[in-house]
Each structure stands twice: as C-alpha cells, then as structure tokens.
C-alpha cells in the first residue's frame, strides 16, 4: 500500500484502495442473502402432517407429507383413558374438526373419559378446516395411534424423522408428564426410531423425563417468548423451537454458537419462510411444507 500511495495521486489512490479492499474482504451478508448449505440442509417439518393440505394429524396428512419428502413428520400426542397414545392436538374431541362416521355431531369429550375403542366411529377427515382453504377433506380418516404413525415413518422410502409433541393433559391427575414421556419413549423404541426422533414440549418437566429415560433422543423446548436459557444450561433442551414472531435474527447465531439448533413454529407465509431461511435457522415447522420446499429450492440455486 505504501508503494501505491507513493506513486499515485490522492484522487486516484482513494477510490482504488476502496476497490482493492472490496476484493480482499468478503462482504457481510445482507438480510436477504442465504447460505446455500443452510438452505439445502434445512429440516422441513410438516406441522400436524401437513395441516394446510390435509386434515391435521391424520394418516392422509402424514402420507401427503411423505409424498412431499419432508424431512420430519411433526405431530401431537394425547392419551386415552386406557393409556393408548393417540395423535391428536386437543385434549378432547373437537366437534369443529371431527364428526361421527355417520356425519352426526360429536360432544367435546375429554380423552381421559374415553377408551381408544370409543373412537372407532370418529371421522376427523370429513370436515374441512375453514382456516385452511387448500385443505383437501379425506372422509373416513380416523384418529391414529402413535404406533400407526411411527410404523408409517419406519416403513417410509427414506429416513424421515418424527417430532412428537407431548401435550399437557388438562385436569388429569392419573397421568403426569413423566408418565406420558415414558409411554412415548416406549413407542419410539419399539420401532427403533430413537436416532430419528425429536420429542418436544412446552412442559420442561416432560423433557427432563425424556432425558432421564433416553438421553439419546433429541429434545426440543417449545417457547412463545425468549425465556429458554435455563433449559439449555441444565441440559433439558437440545433444540429450541420458538414461536417465529418472537425470534430475533441475533438469537439464531447466539443459540447455534452454543450448539443449539433453532427450529421455529408455525411458519406459513412465504415471506416469513424466506426471511427465516435467510437468517440461517436449522429448520422450519409449517402447515404448508410445500411452500418451505419451494423456497428452499429457489434459495439454494
């Protein structure tokens, strides 16, 4: 640089040094820039199978998600009175989403008041969820057991992962977080899916129980805010899954520097999907995994 400064007038030297430095020093990524590796390695989680396309938490939803080649099937679990784990979001039958097989209305009965056999005449595929106009009804879709969905995952044509959310059992005194964790872990081990499973929950106690039962299974702490450092420090969480609107760009790098993957939920807007991929998140949970797949392909090119 001294030679350049000695031989060139200042008017020429100043713009030239800017050009040289710009060639030597990589530009900092803009908000819209995307790490190609991050785009191609993105964990695409089909929320409740693919709720935007098929009735949530039904076998047709998971089958459609597998057709789309999602990397992870995301689902919720509840337990019936006789201890059968079923894949369903709400702690009770939802008359807005399910009807009897003959089309008649159901009552909103809690699952802790029902045995699994009591659900044999429940159809959760006939009604279209009005929040998802692209959802295709599938009459006759029943409430599956967790074992049914795990069997589907284990027999898939590629090593799809599963993410199982342990739900809070409202007003249940007979089945706590540790009991649910034990049942879920038993089901996962039965199918040999420990290395392909994430167990997630808003309830830190459920994740502590999973850690004690099977520390090799990944554990995602679901949060609506940014209050999660304790669960990282004490080893409860190996993944943080924040509500996407509460996530900040700086949080992503900070968590990843601690070795903690970041998988926000539930991201449906194409604009939000692209923004989060640009931030370098490790995965995205979406009702429309097809939108995430499309964005990933576009940004990885």
Q: Which residue has the tokens 């640089």?
A: 1
The sign of the dihedral angle between the CA atoms of 143, 145, 149, 155 is negative
pLDDT tens digits for 164-176?
999 876 667 678 8
Evaluate the CA torsion angle 193, 196, 202, 203 in order and state its sign. positive
In the beta sheet, which residues pair with residue 74?
163
State residue 283 phi and psi, 5-degree precision.
-165, 170
Q: How far apart (Å, rounded) are the C-alpha atoms in residues 201 and 223?
A: 9
Report how far apart the first and last C-alpha atoms of the chain are (Å, whole number): 38
pLDDT per residue as tens digits for the range 107-136: 999 999 999 999 999 999 999 999 999 999
pTM of this prediction exceeds 0.85: yes
Q: What does the radius of gyration of the chain's CA atoms come to, in whole angstroms?
A: 23
Contact present, 95 and 156 (Cβ < 8 Å):
no
How many other β-carbons are positioned within 10 Å of the β-carbon of residue 189? 14
Q: Is residue 192 within 8 Å of 217, Cβ to Cβ?
A: no
pLDDT of the chain along its 301 residues, tens only? 333 333 333 343 334 433 333 433 333 333 333 444 455 699 999 999 999 999 999 999 999 999 999 999 999 999 999 999 999 999 999 999 999 999 999 999 999 999 999 999 999 999 999 999 999 999 999 999 999 999 999 999 999 999 999 987 666 767 888 899 999 999 999 999 999 999 999 999 999 999 999 999 999 999 999 999 999 999 999 999 999 999 999 999 999 999 999 999 999 999 999 999 999 999 999 999 999 999 999 998 7
Structural domains in the chain plus CATH codes = 1-29 (no CATH), 31-89+144-300 (3.20.20.190)
């Amino acid at each position: 640089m001294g030679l350049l400064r000695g031989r060139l007038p200042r008017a020429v030297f100043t713009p030239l040094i800017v050009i040289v430095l710009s060639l030597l020093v990589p530009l900092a990524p803009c908000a819209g820039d995307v790490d190609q590796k991050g785009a191609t390695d993105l964990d695409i989680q089909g929320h409740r199978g693919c709720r935007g396309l098929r009735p949530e938490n039904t076998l047709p939803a998971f089958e459609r998600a597998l057709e789309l080649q999602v990397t992870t099937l995301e689902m919720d679990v509840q337990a019936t009175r006789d201890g059968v784990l079923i894949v369903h979001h709400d702690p009770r039958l939802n008359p807005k989403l399910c009807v009897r097989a003959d089309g008649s209305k159901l009552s909103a009965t809690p699952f802790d008041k029902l045995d699994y056999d009591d659900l044999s005449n429940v159809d959760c595929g006939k009604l279209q969820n009005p929040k998802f106009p692209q959802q295709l009804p599938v009459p006759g879709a029943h409430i599956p057991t967790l074992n049914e969905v795990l069997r589907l995952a284990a027999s898939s044509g590629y090593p799809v992962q599963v993410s199982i959310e342990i739900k809070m059992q409202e007003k249940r005194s007979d089945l706590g977080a540790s009991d649910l964790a034990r049942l879920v872990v038993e089901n996962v081990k039965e199918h040999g899916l420990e290395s392909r499973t994430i167990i997630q929950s808003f309830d830190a106690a459920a994740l502590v129980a999973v850690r004690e039962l099977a520390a090799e299974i990944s554990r995602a702490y679901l949060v609506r805010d940014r209050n999660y450092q304790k669960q990282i420090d004490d080893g409860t969480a190996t993944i943080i899954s924040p509500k996407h609107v509460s996530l900040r760009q700086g949080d992503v790098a900070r968590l990843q520097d601690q070795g903690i993957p970041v998988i926000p939920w539930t991201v449906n807007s194409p604009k939000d999907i692209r923004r989060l991929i640009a931030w370098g998140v490790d995965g995205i949970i979406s009702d429309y995994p097809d939108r995430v797949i499309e964005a990933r392909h576009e940004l990885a090119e």
